[in-house]
Amino acid sequence: MLSKAVLTAMNDQITHEMASAYLYLSMSAYFESENLPGFANWMRVQFQEEQEHALKFFEYIYDRGGKVSLQPIPQVEVEFGSPLEVFKKTLTHEQLVTSLINKIYKAAVAEDDVASQIFLQWFINEQVEEEKNASTILDMLEKVGSSIGALYQVDHQVGKRGAD
């Protein structure tokens, strides 16, 4: 059985994961409107991953005898300045998600909830990958600067995500 503190934090995380999905779908729409299909695809894959993350929490709560309490998803941004700015926001957002996962982990430790600590380990590892991916693309975009040709090459490269 989940403690009230861990259950509340995990229910909140479902909302955060769905809000993340919605944010990435908005970023995908922005890239589509900018005729950058590779970046749009990358964000759609990210959107799908965030939905999967929310479902992992959803299922875990029920596996542990808890009850899911869905909350409203806040409005997300719809206007973005440039691909560079989008990936700055992406990295900052992933760092926020990392801090939220760490907060849940700390609650699980405080409640001596070993099962939840083990469950959360997957998310901790995932966040290392999420921050690395966003940081890598941000670094590429900073290096290409204002070169349109290089931007389209990066767009093509990141567009391969999910094609495996």
- Each residue's pLDDT, cut to its tens digit, for the chain (164 residues) gives 999 999 999 999 999 999 999 999 999 999 999 999 999 999 999 999 999 999 999 999 999 999 999 999 999 999 998 999 999 999 999 999 999 999 999 999 999 999 999 999 999 999 999 999 999 999 999 999 999 999 999 999 999 987 65
Query: What pLDDT is recorded for position 101?
Result: 98
pTM beyond 0.75:
yes
pLDDT value, residue 23: 98
User: Nearest 5 degrees, angle CA 92-CA 121-CA 130?
Assistant: 30
Q: b/e per residue, 85-102, with b = 16+ CB within 10 A?
A: ebbbbbbebbeebbebbe
Q: What is the pLDDT of residue 163?
A: 61
CB-based contact 154:146 (threshold 8 Å): no
In the DSSP assignment, the letter for residue 73 is P
pLDDT of residue 161: 87
Are 151 and 87 a contacting pair, CB within 8 Å?
A: no
Domains (ranges, CATH) in the chain?
4-158 (1.20.1260.10)
